[in-house]
Amino acid sequence: MDIVQMRGITKHFAGVTANHNIDFDLKKGEVHALLGENGAGKSTLMNILYGLYRPDSGTIYIEGKRREFSSPRDAIASGIGMVHQHFMLNPSQTVWENMVMGLADLPEILPKQDILRRINNISEKYSLRVDPTAQVWQLSIGEQQRVAILQMLFRKARVLILDEPTAVLTPQEALRLFELIKQMTTDGYGVVFISHKLHEVMENSQRVTILRKGEKVGTVETFSTSREKLAEMMVGKKFAFSIERSSREPGSVVLEGKNLEVLGDRGLPAVRGVSLHIREGEIVGIAGVAGNGQHELCEALVGLRKVESGKVLVDGKDLTGLSPRAYISRGVRYIPADRKGTGLVANMDVSENAILKKYWKKPVSRGYVIDWNVVRRFTRELVKSFNVSTPSISTPVRNLSGGNLQKLMLGRELSGTPRVVVAVHPTWGLDVAATKFVREKLLSERERGTAVLVVSEDLDELLSLSDRIAVMCQGELMGLVDDPSSITPEEMGLMMAGTPLSCIRKASV
């Protein structure tokens, strides 16, 4: 039986058709995957089901009854839950306050202890541990992902929409999530799974619906298709997954962190005595479970977070304690995981975001006056070179899809001649074509002699890009692997869990 039916859904934004006459249904006990390139209309369709948007035309049926949602509260009351790619959490509130926010019929005095008990029970049952009294802004991206999933479980959704749920999860966490999904579907829940990881779609869904440019291409049974066929349906042509990576000798040290001690947002040590360096023409990857100091380390290396002790050097010059602009002037570029909150200004347009790292420099700036003709020329070239799909360069970036936000930010950071690129989750939530594009751009920077640091929880990504891989746990380096091909995923998992590389090597002798 269909638990959800969507018929003839159409939605327009500022002259752009996000969804055109789309039919979609979800059965009880089913995982129905929704695929498409960034900007294909997947999130828009599900935002309509969740009540964030109202369709221009079309109808929605929940368990056979027609429904019209004017807000997420209406959808929640009908048993619809959604975990967004960019989490819809209130950062200034605690985890437990986010759990109950927006729920109907709440008492004037909230039963805090009962709420904490329920959260802890769910967290323990599904291994999604998080401190319910912590404020959301203090949590890492990965921890916020857990909160978003917990929120839907707390609200007892019968339909769970997961928008890129494993984008910042480790392989072990992803497996636990899929075990949870399997348990839920066994109990009759329906799950809509939006993902760009085709192997996850093939392994965990029963049906797949593909969208392209706002229209439905088709729905197929998962067992009757392949990863290659799905990619071809998404992009409209045959697609090659492999990327070429040449061997080369790295040059001199460009970026170096010496014995770094850095505090987290709660004032507690987040980075403990970390030393590492990246050389010209080299990609160093950092692996680790979210919340183990990678975020704080990267912010320290680009001048955005205070270094309590230790030094940060770029081309031998000590930049410790200097402003972020001093790092930028030395060629340091930063691609943060939080593209909407840190990397880009949502209410500013494409051209304004494109010049955030150079608005004070010639030829963009003439004294205190910005030359907007130069800005427009630069932005048009950036949009063309990095395949950013946008109605115009005057479009606010909040209206762009996740993939186009990432490509805009990538284009801005790689413009000119960077000496160092620090990229955190550079392909988070991107489709197969955009993921390949970003990885090829990072490899191109390596070929140009740029020093590149990549933080990712996607081990396949790190193994395909990195010349060396470091692993962090609880703010410390568990080891630095000089030859990524020499270590197994199981050994990487042990390091991510806190076993030093030296102990692993000693045990294997």
DSSP assigned state of 343: I
User: For residue 161, what pLDDT is reported?
Assistant: 95
Residues 169 and 313 in one domain: no
156 and 303 share one domain? no
Same domain for 257 and 308, yes or no, is yes
Which position has the token pair 């020093």? 451
- Summarised one tens digit per residue, pLDDT across range 241-285 is 777 788 889 999 999 999 999 999 889 999 999 999 999 999 999
Mean pLDDT of 409-436: 89
Residue 275: which domain range?
Answer: 251-331+419-509
More confidently predicted of 387 and 239: 387
Is 352 in the same domain as 321? no
Q: Structure tokens of 473?
A: 């746990």
Specify if 336 maps to a domain.
no
Residue where a domain terminates, one of 235, 267, 292: 235
Q: What is the domain-level CATH number for residue 436?
A: 3.40.50.300
Dihedral angle sign, alpha carbons of residues 468, 243, 488, 195: positive
Q: At 242, is the secondary structure helix, strand, or coil?
A: coil
Which residue, among 287, 303, 298, 295, has the nearest Cα to 265 in the 3D structure? 295
- Ranking 80-84, 113-117, 164-168, 231-235 by mean pLDDT, the lowest is 164-168
Per the omega criterion (within 30 degrees of 0), is the bond before 363 cis?
A: yes
Question: Tokens for 283?
Answer: 């990609």
Q: Which two tokens stand for residue 79?
A: 């048993």
Together in a domain, 376 and 264: no
Q: What is the mean pLDDT of the chain?
A: 89
Structural domain includes residue 241? no
177 and 46 co-located in one domain = yes
Last residue of a domain, one of 381, 397, 416: 416
Lowest mean pLDDT among 100-114, 142-156, 331-345, 428-442: 100-114
Q: Among the three residues 400, 416, 432, which one is the final residue of a domain in this structure?
A: 416
**Which of the four pLDDT bands, split at 50, 70 and 90, describes residue 507?**
low
State the pTM of this model.
0.73
Pair 261, 274 in one domain = yes
pLDDT at position 39: 79
Beta strand 159-163 pairing with 190-194: parallel
Task: Kindly write down the DSSP assignment for every residue of 264-275, as one continuous string.
Answer: -TTSSEEEEEEE
The count of other CB atoms within 10 Å of the CB of residue 350 is 25
DSSP at 399: G
Mean pLDDT value of segment 356-367:
90
Give residue-wise pLDDT tens across range 383-419: 999 989 888 999 999 888 778 898 999 999 999 899 9
Domain assignment present for 244: no
HEC letters along 38-62: CCCCHHHHHHHHCCCCCCCEEEEEE
- Asked if residue 422 lies in contact with residue 334, where contact means CB atoms within 8 angstroms, the answer is yes
Here the tokens at position 358 are 């150079």
Higher pLDDT pick, 279 / 176: 279
* 231 shares a domain with 182: yes
Q: Is the pLDDT of residue 325 over 80?
A: yes
pLDDT at 70 over 80: yes
Instruction: Give dist(CA 194, CA 457) in Å, integer.
Output: 18
Examine the domain organization and report whether 34 and 181 are in the same domain. yes
Domain presence at residue 500: yes
**pLDDT tens digits, 25-61:** 999 999 999 999 877 899 899 999 999 999 999 999 9
For residue 369, the model assigns a pLDDT of 93
Question: Is residue 461 predicted with pLDDT exceeding 80?
Answer: yes
- Identify the pLDDT of residue 141: 66
- The verdict on 82 and 194 lying in the same domain is yes
Gap between the Cα atoms of 442 and 465, Å rounded: 8
* pLDDT at 177 (0 to 100): 82
Residue 263, in any domain of the structure: yes
Question: What is the total residue count of the chain?
Answer: 509
Number of domains in the chain: 3
- Specify if 245 maps to a domain: no
Q: What is the largest CA-CA distance in the chain?
A: 68
Same domain, 428 and 356: no
Q: Within a domain: residue 462?
A: yes
Domain-located, residue 246:
no
**pLDDT (average), residues 328-348:** 91
- Residues 407 and 346 reside in one and the same domain: yes
